[in-house]
């Protein structure tokens, strides 16, 4: 008895469009590499603006991204895009970190060179005024010695070197009368204009008495209230130009800048340099060509800004309270005591002066 043969089962040929099953080995590495690489690049960019911690984090993520990307390629992950993105982002992140490091190092070197240059030019401290100084303002202000009308004579002094700090010992020096008024103003400050309008006659009477000096200290903190024209600095610099070349016109320049007919409203651009020169030229009886050129070129604007910053960050010289600082304008300090009364009450201010021993002529 014969055994029947089993029929042969034929295997059909593969479908021409069928794809072989792919291996997922390494797929997680590829995706992780891409994620880590992109995060590293983002962290490094953020670090440029927010500090080294983000840059360091970016470098760490970049190293991880490169490692994962290489692993995914070894495992022949398909498609290649995630692995390549991870590798590329990691490399770019490290390159960006290197560039940031070089920029920081370069900035440090430049700052060091500047500090050394400042020291060689006569800087006395890191808080000095790194700008060209005018003559007759070495004390950090304009010292009117009084004794006559119009504020009296201005105390003279040579222009300090760039980087110097105000020599406040000159304010109460032997050349100054026994009573001392210190007046802090900003030429755009409406309260300063109101104080001047109310008390100018009293101040001039005190100066004419012969026993009182006045140290005028101009500030520029209202630069931001002049629509980008930095009027406070330009007005203060104009005063510095006059003090430097025509000190006999300094008091008239000061009173003109605070006169209600000339002082601009806070929040406006204020007069430009040409208008400023025209106003001061008429009020003072004539600015010299040198003074006008100084105002036009804004020669002492950097000094005005630097002086204001120094005055606002240091205690008031010779104040009875050694911690007294200027927090607004006008600030008036007489013989070390700050005036805290009404700026528009002439009688109250007169009484304050006489209580401090000031003679009113």
Q: Is the pLDDT reported for residue 7 higher than 70?
A: no
pLDDT at 110: 39
pLDDT at 177: 75
Check residues 124 and 57 and name the one with the higher pLDDT: 57
Check residues 67 and 58 and name the one with the higher pLDDT: 67
308-314: long-range pairs with CB below 8 Å, 24+: 308/218, 308/219, 308/220, 308/221, 308/232, 308/233, 308/236, 310/127, 310/128, 310/129, 310/140, 310/165, 310/166, 311/140, 311/166, 311/184, 311/217, 311/219, 312/219, 312/221, 313/127, 314/127
Asked if 221 contacts 308 with a C-beta cutoff of 8 angstroms, the reply is: yes
Q: Within a 10 A sphere around the Cβ of 165, how many other Cβ atoms?
A: 17
pLDDT at 276: 98
Mean pLDDT of 184-211: 96
The CA–CA distances, whole Å, from 16 to 11, 13, 19, 157, 221 equal: 15, 9, 9, 99, 81
pLDDT at 43: 72
Residues paired with 183 in a beta bridge: 216, 332
pLDDT at 78: 63
Mean pLDDT of 338-345: 97
The CA–CA distances, whole Å, from 108 to 96, 115, 118, 317 equal: 18, 11, 15, 34
> What confidence category does residue 239 fall into, taking pLDDT thresholds of 50, 70 and 90?
very high
What are the pLDDT digits (tens) for 10-35?
Answer: 555 554 444 444 444 446 766 776 77
> What confidence category does residue 115 fall into, taking pLDDT thresholds of 50, 70 and 90?
very low
CA angle 284, 247, 214 (to 5 degrees): 100
> What confidence category does residue 175 fall into, taking pLDDT thresholds of 50, 70 and 90?
low
Task: Give the DSSP letter string of 139-164.
Answer: TSSEEE-BSSSTTBPBPP-PPPPTT-
pLDDT at 209: 87
pLDDT at 161: 94
Helices (H) and strands (E) in the chain, counts: 10, 5
62-65: long-range pairs with CB below 8 Å, 24+: 62/36, 62/37, 62/89, 62/90, 62/91, 62/93, 62/94, 62/97, 63/90, 63/94, 64/36, 64/40, 64/90, 65/33, 65/34, 65/36, 65/37, 65/40, 65/89, 65/90, 65/93
Asked if 276 contacts 295 with a C-beta cutoff of 8 angstroms, the reply is: yes
pLDDT at 178: 85
Q: Within a 10 A sphere around the Cβ of 256, how many other Cβ atoms?
A: 21
Check residues 309 and 76 and name the one with the higher pLDDT: 309
pLDDT at 112: 38
pLDDT at 147: 79
Average confidence score pLDDT of the chain:
82
Q: Is the pLDDT reported for residue 107 higher than 70?
A: no
pLDDT at 72: 67
**For residues 349 and 347, what is the distance between their CA atoms, to the nearest angstrom?**
5
**For residues 183 and 50, what is the distance between their CA atoms, to the nearest angstrom?**
41
Q: Is the pLDDT reported for residue 82 higher than 80?
A: no
Q: Is the pLDDT reported for residue 194 higher than 90?
A: yes
Q: Is the pLDDT reported for residue 172 higher than 60?
A: no
pLDDT at 51: 60
pLDDT at 287: 97
- Any idea which residue has 């504020």 for tokens? 151
Q: Is the pTM of this model over 0.75?
A: no
pLDDT at 53: 73
Task: Give the DSSP letter string of 174-191.
Answer: TTS-SEEEEEEEETT-HH
Domains of the chain: 27-111 (no CATH), 142-355 (3.40.30.10)
Q: Within a 10 A sphere around the Cβ of 49, how many other Cβ atoms?
A: 7
**For residues 79 and 76, what is the distance between their CA atoms, to the nearest angstrom?**
9
CA angle 75, 81, 87 (to 5 degrees): 75
Task: Give the DSSP letter string of 95-140.
Answer: HHHHHHHHHHHHHHHHHHHHHHHHHHTT--STTS--SPPPTT-TTS
> What confidence category does residue 174 fall into, taking pLDDT thresholds of 50, 70 and 90?
low
What are the pLDDT digits (tens) for 284-303?
Answer: 999 999 999 999 999 999 99
Rounded to the nearest angstrom, the gap between the alpha carbon of residue 101 and the centroid of all alpha carbons in its chain is 25
Check residues 141 and 71 and name the one with the higher pLDDT: 141
Residues paired with 181 in a beta bridge: 214, 334
């Amino acid at each position: 008895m014969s055994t029947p043969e089993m029929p042969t089962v034929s295997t059909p040929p593969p479908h021409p469009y069928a794809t072989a099953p792919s291996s997922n080995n390494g797929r997680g590495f590829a995706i992780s590499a891409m994620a880590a690489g992109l995060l590293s690049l983002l962290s490094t960019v953020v670090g440029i603006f927010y500090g080294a911690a983000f840059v360091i984090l970016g470098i760490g993520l970049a190293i991880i991204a490169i490692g994962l990307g290489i692993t995914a390629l070894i495992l022949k992950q398909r498609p290649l895009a995630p692995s390549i993105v991870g590798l590329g982002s990691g490399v770019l992140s490290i390159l960006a970190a290197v560039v940031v490091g070089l920029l920081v190092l370069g900035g440090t070197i430049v700052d060091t060179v500047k500090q050394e240059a400042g020291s060689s030019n006569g800087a006395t401290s890191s808080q000095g005024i790194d700008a060209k100084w005018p003559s007759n303002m070495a004390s950090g202000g304009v010292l009117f010695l009084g004794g006559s009308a119009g504020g009296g004579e201005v105390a003279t002094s040579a222009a300090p070197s760039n980087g110097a700090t105000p020599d406040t010992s000159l304010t109460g020096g032997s050349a100054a009368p026994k009573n001392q008024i210190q007046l802090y103003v900003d030429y755009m400050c409406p309260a300063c204009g109101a104080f001047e309008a109310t008390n100018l006659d009293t101040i001039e009477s005190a100066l004419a008495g012969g026993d009182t000096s006045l140290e005028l200290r101009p500030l520029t903190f209202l630069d931001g209230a002049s629509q980008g024209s930095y009027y406070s600095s330009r007005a203060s610099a104009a005063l510095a130009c006059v003090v430097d070349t025509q000190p006999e016109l300094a008091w008239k320049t000061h009173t003109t800048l605070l006169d209600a007919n000339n002082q601009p409203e806070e929040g406006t651009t204020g007069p430009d340099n040409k208008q400023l020169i025209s106003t001061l030229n008429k009020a003072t009886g004539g600015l010299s060509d040198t003074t006008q050129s100084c105002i036009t070129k804004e020669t002492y604007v950097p000094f005005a800004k630097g002086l204001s910053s120094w005055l606002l960050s240091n205690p008031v010289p010779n104040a009875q309270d050694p911690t007294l600082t200027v927090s607004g304008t006008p600030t008036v300090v007489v013989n070390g005591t700050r005036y805290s009364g009404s700026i528009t009450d002439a009688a109250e201010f007169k009484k304050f002066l006489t209580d401090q021993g000031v003679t009113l002529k």
